[in-house]
Amino acid sequence: MAPTLITVAPTGAETAKTDAPGLPCSLDELVSTAKACEAAGAAVIHVHVRDADAAPTLDLGRVTASVEALREATDLVVQVSTGGAVTDSEADRLRVLDSGPDAASLTCGTVNFGTDVFLNRWEFVERLFLEMREREIVPEFELFDLGHVATMRRLLDKYGAPYGGHVHCDLVMGVPGGMPGTLGALTACVVALPPEATWSATGVGRTTIPVLLAALAGGGHVRVGMEDTLTFAPGQPVRDNAELVERAAAFARLAQRPPMPPEDARVMLGVRSRTGAR
């Protein structure tokens, strides 16, 4: 069986530091989290950045400093979020592509997000795709609903392959307003993907473990982290991101699909090598 690509999403943009003290918000916290998660089996880090007050920010200087520090300290594939927070503008979300990442998230449609709306217009999705290709950034297609799979296919039909030549998606399940974190929803998406695509799945909140197990059983990969889950078990808050990666790696080993090292993840995803030659 193939190894498991583990992505860690350590911070997100929607949780306050005061509500989750273990959330990595400063650059030092982000880097030490990344090192611990790499040691625990992660190969990719999905990065949201916070400001000096721990509020979410897309400030280009801060995002670039985070990308550079993560590169310096780890071998992880560095994937910046272009989703930002629900309140961020399209211009700010596009600008993070200038931070020099290996990869970036690309959400393929609008979705209700709790009491908010995570807005992703078709023209904006097209622009993100094209600007990533121009900058040699590998997209990770974020799919919160079955309709987002159709939108990703429409994008690929219109423009061809992304930079790197490979299609990798993340099924984000269990967001209030998106698809549920169920085996049925996961299967409906997986059968609708292009046959050559690889995929991860993320179960938000209490769907974390069922989605993790379904992804491992279905030949997919996994994303875990405090962006998506703040409760380790009923009544037990998550201690830190490494705890979530350790658990995912343990499940992956039990499934005889051990964690994929970052260098193999680069090859699978079509990400540039650190020397610039793929």
Query: Which residues contribute to the site for ligand KMH (CB under 6 A)?
Result: 12-14, 81-83, 85-86, 105, 107, 113, 118, 142
Which of 81, 82, 202, 207 is the binder for Zn ion (CB under 5 A)?
Answer: 81
Long-range contacts of 80-85 (CB under 8 A, 24+ apart): 80/47, 80/104, 80/105, 81/13, 81/46, 81/47, 81/48, 81/105, 82/106, 82/107, 82/128, 83/13, 83/107, 83/118, 83/142, 84/13, 84/48, 84/56, 84/58, 85/13, 85/14, 85/56
What letter does residue 91 receive in the DSSP assignment? H
Min separation Cβ 242 and ligand KMH, Å:
20
3-state helix, strand, coil in the chain (%, to 5): 40, 20, 40
Min separation Cβ 234 and Zn ion, Å:
25
> Which residue's CB is nearer to Zn ion, number 33 or number 81?
81
Q: Is 69 exposed, middle or buried (0-12, 13-18, 19+ CB in 10 A)?
A: middle
> Which residue's CB is nearer to ligand KMH, number 4 or number 107?
107
Min separation Cβ 86 and ligand KMH, Å:
5
How far is 259 from 238, CA to CA, in rounded Å? 21
Min separation Cβ 81 and ligand KMH, Å:
3
> Which residue's CB is nearer to Zn ion, number 30 or number 257?
30
Residue 79, binding choice from Zn ion, ligand KMH, none, Cβ under 5 to 8 Å by partner class: none
**Do residues 186 and 173 lie in contact, with contact meaning Cβ atoms separated by under 8 Å?**
yes
Min separation Cβ 115 and ligand KMH, Å:
12
> Which residue's CB is nearer to ligand KMH, number 82 or number 208?
82
Residue 57 CB neighbours (<10 A): 20
**Do residues 82 and 93 lie in contact, with contact meaning Cβ atoms separated by under 8 Å?**
yes
Residue 107, binding choice from ligand KMH, Zn ion, none, Cβ under 5 to 8 Å by partner class: ligand KMH
Min separation Cβ 241 and ligand KMH, Å:
15
**How many residues belong to the site for Zn ion (CB under 5 A)?**
2
> Which residue's CB is nearer to Zn ion, number 137 or number 257?
137
The answer to whether residue 4 forms part of the interface with Zn ion (CB under 5 A) is no
> Which residue's CB is nearer to ligand KMH, number 81 or number 207?
81
Assign 3-class secondary structure to 198-265.
EEEEEECHHHHHHHHHHHHHCCCEEEECCCCCCEEECCEECCCHHHHHHHHHHHHHHCCCCECCHHHH
Q: Looking at 80-88, 158-166, 193-201, 258-266, which segment touches Zn ion (CB under 5 A)?
A: 80-88
Residue 14, binding choice from ligand KMH, Zn ion, none, Cβ under 5 to 8 Å by partner class: ligand KMH
**Do residues 242 and 230 lie in contact, with contact meaning Cβ atoms separated by under 8 Å?**
no
Minimal CB distance residue for ligand KMH: 83
Min separation Cβ 209 and ligand KMH, Å:
21
Q: Which residues make up the interface to Zn ion (CB under 5 A)?
A: 81, 83
